[in-house]
Structure 1
Amino acid sequence: MAAEGRQRIDKWLFFSRAVKSRSLAAKLVQAGRVRVNGEKTTLPAEQVKATDVLTITLDRRVLVYRILQPGTRRGPAEEARTLYEDISPPQESAKPDPLTSILPIREAGAGRPTKKERRATDRLRDM
């Protein structure tokens, strides 16, 4: 039997609500997207313990968790937050580019004609 205070990494990821299901947690580990104390692991059955640091690479972010205790169940989010300490680096907010965020302003009559203006031009030509 496993040593006291240790838990499978896929179960811990599921109990801590880092992923939605245990099978997704196993796939995440097998894909090599989880590191335990800086070492890449591909075994979902690898045992983790308190004080281990997990680096989890998700689609749009990287999570760095220090394990505080093993989980006993997948409970509410408040209970899941007691399983780890989040030491992730702060995410950089996507700042809009000032050149592309300003909408172009054009004066009436400048640029391409509107549909109404084009119809008026066509009527003048047909006369």
Structure 2
Amino acid sequence: MSESDDGKVRLDKWLWAARFFKTRALAKAAIEGGKVHCRGERCKPSKEPKLGEELVIRTGFDERTVTIRALSAVRRGAPEAQQLYEETAESQARREQAAALRKAGALGVETDGRPSKKQRRALQRFRSDAG
């Protein structure tokens, strides 16, 4: 993998190059918002990641635990970006289980969709009578 001039890369730039975030600004905002932890602690966007360090990265509903395998300051294709890190087996299992629960509807309220015109009128009648 290509490294920067002196082998030093900012954490926000590495997260962007590893394709965890679409832009460096989003990566920086996530780090500042406490969504990225290194050794169990919050870190700064200017932190220099080291090979073998373990990061916990939260994006949306998913939380990944990854080990840094290579450093890069250049954003390339997804297959090359996946060579920069290795996700732990426990992290993959947790994400797959959480995705299965979300897909099954266990984490949210499931409805039949929007009410029909008749159902909306019945709701309005009920609310006006109750109030």
Same fold by TM (over 0.5)? Answer: yes
- Residue 5 of structure 1: how far off its partner (Å): 4.1
Q: Deviations over 1:39-87 (max 9, x none)?
A: 122x210111110111011211101110001014100001001100011
Question: C-alpha distance in 1, partners of 2:75/2:21?
Answer: 11
TM-score (norm 1): 0.68
Q: What percent identity do the matched residue pairs reach?
A: 29
TM-score (norm 2): 0.66
Q: Which runs of at least 4 in structure 1 moved beyond 3 Å after TM superposition?
A: none
Kept after mapping to 2: 8 A contact 1:5/1:69: no
1:76 corresponds to: 77
2:32 corresponds to: 30
Kept after mapping to 2: 8 A contact 1:68/1:85: yes
- Residue 35 of structure 1: how far off its partner (Å): 0.3
Q: Aligned in 2, Cα 1:86/1:45: closer, same or farther, shift over 3 Å?
A: same
Larger radius of gyration: 1
Kept after mapping to 2: 8 A contact 1:70/1:83: yes
Structure 1: gaps of 5 or more residues: 102-127
Question: C-alpha distance in 2, partners of 1:36/1:64?
Answer: 10
Q: Alignment RMSD, CA only?
A: 2.5
